[in-house]
Amino acid sequence: MNTDLQKKLLKDFEKEHLTNNIQNNVINQNKDLIEVKNKNEVFLEVNNLRKQYNKKAKPAVNNISFKVLAGEFHAFIGANGAGKTTTIKSIVGAYAEFEGEIKISGISNREKSSRLKLGYIPESARFPSKMSSYLYLKSMAELNGLTPKEAKEFTERILKEFNMWNLRNVSPNKFSSGQKKKILLAQSLSNNPDLLIMDEPTANLDPKSRIAFFEILKDLQSKGKSIFISSHILSELDIYANALTILDGGKIVFTGKRNQDETKNKEIYKLVTENELSNKLNSRAKTLKVEIKDYHSSEANTYIVSSETKKSMNEFIKDVMDSNRIVKFEKYHLSIEELYKKFVILGSVHTNNQADEEENQEIKNKQEDKEKPKKEEKQKNS
């Protein structure tokens, strides 16, 4: 790196810090995160949600609270049985009974009007056996309150936008897994919702279909919609999500913006140099109270550098430039996988699909309650 380029890099670095708005104004180009003007508006608010399937068992989710803001791509992650599906089903109204409060765009989800602001894509769905994708979407749009004319216009537009117009006369049952997910997503958009909720939407999709699906979601986010998505594939969430909630054993261990925890008013950067940092630079860093950690990656001489003051970071970077060549210097955020490992002790979740087991037990108990009078009558007659 020549001297002029080093000076430009330092000038840009100092200019960036003079804004005093680095956390709000820096967009991570690798993740293509999109902020919207009304970013503080709350589209989903969950307060003290508690759901218990069996009174004798632990709650599937226990007093959890979190928010999803306008324009967020919010990842909802946790191990199997952590309570993700229970939470999502509570939000979309699949469960009539739960403790706590859930609001969608400020409206209680116990009110039917809240569904007008919500779009839901389940992990799997069934389609009518003898209905084309065009008629299916048009019918669902009318059920969502659109007039026949509006439903027709919506169906034609969305099928063309999703590059599925040539499949309009084909039954969704004949589609690939990726095409079925696109139809479910199209269906969820007919009421123009503020919030899209998805439970494992890319499960069983091939890599190409997953990428195509997420590109559609990114476009929807750019138009101001909030995305709330549950997925086990952390690497793909890492590309798009700018906020997350981590659930472990029915409780929330972290919720917020991705950089909310690791920054804590610290300046944290990823630094790649041509040569290894010298002992002199390491000593200088200690004097300036700049922390240096080795970062294991495919690039040699990669470090994570952090400081509580911008002045100290500026001085340290100047010293590095004087004695080394900077290959890369960029704002650093923990990956979603790193955040997950930080807040969840692997193997600590004791639910072990508890939610599914308890839901099955609830069904079994209801069946037994129905059969109880018959058994009593039979015993009485015998």
Identify the residue whose tokens are 């680095």. Answer: 22
CA 13/CA 303 separation, integer angstroms: 17
Q: For the chain (length 382 residues), average pLDDT per consecutive 10?
A: 50 42 30 47 94 87 95 93 92 92 93 89 86 96 93 96 94 93 94 92 87 91 93 87 92 85 70 91 91 82 87 90 87 82 66 48 54 59 58
pLDDT at 376 (0 to 100): 60
Using only C-alpha atoms, the chain has a radius of gyration, in whole angstroms, of 26
CB 246, CB 64: distance < 8 Å: no
pLDDT of 27: 27
Query: If 0-12 CB within 10 Å is exposed, 13-18 middle and 19+ buried, where does residue 207 land?
Result: exposed
Please give the pLDDT value at position 342.
Answer: 81
Position 377 scores a pLDDT of 61
Structural domains in the chain, CATH included, are 42-127+192-257 (3.40.50.300), 267-331 (3.30.70.260)
| Distance separating alpha carbons of residues 241 and 246, to the nearest angstrom | 13
Pairing of strands 99-104, 251-257: unpaired
Task: Note the pLDDT of residue 57.
Answer: 82
Neighbours of 154 (CB within 10 A): 22
- C-alpha–C-alpha distance, residues 311 and 138, integer Å: 60
Closest CA to 228 of 137, 329, 92: 92
Distance CA 294, CA 280 (A): 16
CA distance 314 to 85: 46
pTM, whole model, 2 decimals? 0.71
d(CA 54, CA 141): 37
